[in-house]
Chains A and B, each alone.
Chain A
Amino acid sequence: MFGIIGPDGAGKTTLFRILTSLLIPDSGEATVLGLDVVKEFKKIRERIGYMPGKFSLYGDLTVDENLSFFASIFKANIKENYHLIEDIFKDIAPFGKRKARDLSGGMKQKLALSCALIHKPDILFLDEPTTGVDPVSRREFWQMLERLKKQGITIVVSTSYMDEALLCSRIALFKEGSILSYNTPKEMVSSFENTLLAVSGENMPELLKMLRKISIVKSAYSFGAQHHITVEREENKGESDKVENRENVGNGNNIEKTNREIKLQAVIANVTQQLQQMGASSFTIKEIEPTIEDCYLELSSVK
């Protein structure tokens, strides 16, 4: 399962349309399943499944009619492939006679996924499948994808929800038509280069302005109820630390941790002091683990 993570307007849908052979790229080449998306588009169309971001089934046809229509234009047999969609379709099966437009948002999504899956594609493209879907249905949807993955279907999914990225095997952070970084979610987080601190206190807007004035703060942005600030790790100092570490091979780990701890305390003390000088009172600063969103913000601000 490959996730393409990016905000609205990053070009995710365009990328999907190029990969599904619906658009010809202005420049560059792309291959899907080893097939060129421009020259061999007919072969590609036999083997992929595509679910556009917008609900794109026939609203005036019933659930059953939609499924059987898409099954037959993809030359698939519903009975043969029912095991693939059973898990998804069983929830909407009782509404088989209902018109697709009268389904709830989550059910529409399930129907669309069933229609895209019924011909057992080798690769499934899902363009923002969870945009505008309630949190419960979203989680359910990702559980379904997880099960599909186990059945051996490659899934390419795009989303603007950063929290969903963790559920993918690999992700690409996407901005303005190009990939910023490409890795497993875990690696992505651990490759975060700076120290991330969370600041919270009274009068948050004022606090953010102050944080931005501090020279060692690389970036400061509000994140939920807190402000996240990134502070550059001092590389030069880091090198000398490493030399020190080599000398004390025995308990190097401990020392490194302690060193890191000391530096962190120094940074926090530095920021605290500067904030106090600017007149801020009653705030707390602590180090936190970066999320994918922090990674994205860090990468996209580097230019």
Chain B
Amino acid sequence: MKQFLVFVRKEFLHISRDVRTILILLLMPIVQIVLFGFALTNEVQDVKVLFISNESNETAALINHRILSSPYFIPVESQASATEAENLMKSNQVSLIVNYSRNFNETMVKEGAGQIELIADGSDPNMASAILSYSSAIIAASIKERMPASLENMGKVSLSTELLYNPQMKSSYNFVPGVMGLILMIICAMMTSISIVREKETGTMEILLVSPIRPMFIILSKSVPYFILSVINLATILLLSVYVLKVPVTGSLFWLVMVSFIFIFVSLTLGLLISSITHTQVAAMLISGLALMMPAMLLSGMIFPISNMPELLQVFTKFVPATWYILAVKKLMIQGLPLISEVTEIAAMCPMAAVFLSLSLKQFKYRLE
């Protein structure tokens, strides 16, 4: 046991001597959260809207007022015609054009019909669809109000959409779980595997193996510091997302932490597995980069929805630990579901850890190859 503690202490010394790496490890979650939170946003924000209306009418005035009272739109003061408006859009001075048809107010009140043209810039499709859906929701609500009572009950079916759990379509709700998965994976798997392989590369493993220390201890003591680092990062991410990005932890914090521990454990065992099959730090880094990070980013549903993938890939995503973790975090953090609904995810991750651990213990050489 004393040997084990000495070993852990040595690992901490290694980490503390390498200031640059430790800074990267501790700052990475902060940078990622800030980047995803503020730079890579596809939320509707500061949309420059231009209204085109040929005559003054009450309904249009109401709709305009409603749109502008939303914090996401700012008006463009211009009396432009439809063609001029298009030029304004080309020069990026306008992002949304609301064009009312002739005699909009009259037809509206009398017949309950009328046309409003919404024009958005399709060169940024995500942004355009977000703007359109948001503005048409406002318009629909306003029209309903102005509809004459006689026409209201004519059996017209109106669609009403509501976004549960994330009414403002904040992208941070999606990427906070993703970033958590990604960062825990990088630190646990990549750093653990690199630090073990480094001993092989520098030749110190030779002396360690000749010593009476149990090889199990060598491996375990390598994971302890990175486990602690991961917990620090987990805390950083949660604090940042709650207080800076305003993503609440709606479910049980305790179980969120527990699920994270399970995921950290899975990642650690993956790191051990990588370290036992590679001989150089570069190889360890490439394997953890390609085999772990890419799937964790692209196949876990963090960036691209899994339901949009071809079926073969969908099956493949089931074997990416981050997929399950991100799902569980979404359920616990965003949806606030009770523990019972995360049983599948936990049940998927535990056997993964067991398999990776037994594989890496089996693979670990008591000798040099």
Binding site for B on A (CB under 8 A): 17, 20-24, 41-42, 45-46, 48, 50, 52, 54-61, 65, 68-70, 72-75, 99, 115-116
Contacts and interface: CB of A to CB of B under 8 A. Distances in A.
Contact of B10 (A20, A52, A58, A116): A58
A115 B212 CA distance: 14
Given A41-B366, A52-B203, 12 more contacts: A21-B367, A42-B212, A45-B212, A46-B212, A55-B203, A56-B202, A69-B6, A72-B2, A72-B6, A73-B211, A75-B212, A116-B207
B342 to A, nearest CB: 41
A57 B213 CA distance: 16
26 contacts: A22-B206, A22-B209, A23-B367, A23-B368, A41-B366, A48-B210, A50-B206, A50-B210, A52-B206, A55-B203, A56-B203, A56-B204, A56-B206, A56-B207, A57-B204, A57-B207, A59-B202, A69-B10, A70-B207, A70-B211, A72-B2, A73-B3, A73-B208, A73-B211, A73-B213, A115-B207
B14 interface: yes
Nearest to A121: B210
Interface centre among B3, B202, B208, B367 (most CB of A within 10 A): B367
Given A21-B367, A23-B368, A24-B367, A60 B210 contact: no
Contacts of B206: 17, 22, 50, 52, 56
B3 A72 contact: yes
Interface string B112-137: 00000000000000000000000000
B14 A60 contact: yes
Contacts of B207: 50, 52, 56-57, 70, 115-116
B194 to A, nearest CB: 14
Interface string B207-231: 1111111000000000000000000
Contact of B210 (A21, A55, A61, A65): A21
Nearest to B15: A60
B18 interface: yes
A279 B209 CA distance: 63
B17 interface: yes
B255 interface: no
A24 B17 CA distance: 36
Contact of B18 (A23, A54, A60, A65): A60
Contacts of A48: 210
B329 to A, nearest CB: 36
Nearest to A71: B6
B281 to A, nearest CB: 14
Contacts of B2: 72
Contact of A74 (B7, B17, B211, B368): B211
B13 interface: yes
Contacts of B209: 22, 45
B16 to A, nearest CB: 9
Nearest to B10: A69
A45 B204 contact: no
A45 B211 contact: yes
Interface in B12-41: 13-14, 17-18
Nearest to B7: A73
A97 to B, nearest CB: 13
B6 A61 contact: no
Nearest to A68: B6
B7 A17 contact: no
Contacts of A52: 203, 206-207
A69 B14 CA distance: 12
A21 B368 CA distance: 9
Query: Which residue among B207, B209, B211, B366 has the maximum number of chain A CB atoms within 10 Å of its CB?
Result: B207
A99 B208 CA distance: 20
A20 B367 CA distance: 10
B327 to A, nearest CB: 40
A228 B19 CA distance: 58
A29 to B, nearest CB: 16
Contacts of A99: 17
A54 B212 contact: no
Contacts of A23: 367-368
A129 B240 CA distance: 54
B320 to A, nearest CB: 34
Given A69-B6, A72-B6, A22 B202 contact: no
A65 B16 CA distance: 14
A54 B203 contact: yes
Given A56-B202, A72-B3, A61 B17 contact: yes
A115 B208 CA distance: 12
A38 B212 CA distance: 15
A44 to B, nearest CB: 9
Nearest to B205: A56
A189 B305 CA distance: 79
Given A54-B203, A61-B13, A17 B211 contact: no
Interface in B151-186: none
Which residue of A46, A48, A69, A72 has the most chain B CB atoms within 10 A of its CB atom? Answer: A72
B367 A65 contact: no
Contacts of B366: 41
A45 B367 contact: no
Contacts of A50: 206-207, 210
A20 B210 contact: yes
A41 B209 CA distance: 10
A46 B207 CA distance: 12
Contacts of B203: 52, 54-56
A46 B18 CA distance: 32
A59 B368 CA distance: 21
Interface string B327-369: 0000000000000000000000000000000000000001110
Contacts of A116: 207
Contacts of B10: 58, 61, 65, 69
Contacts of A54: 203
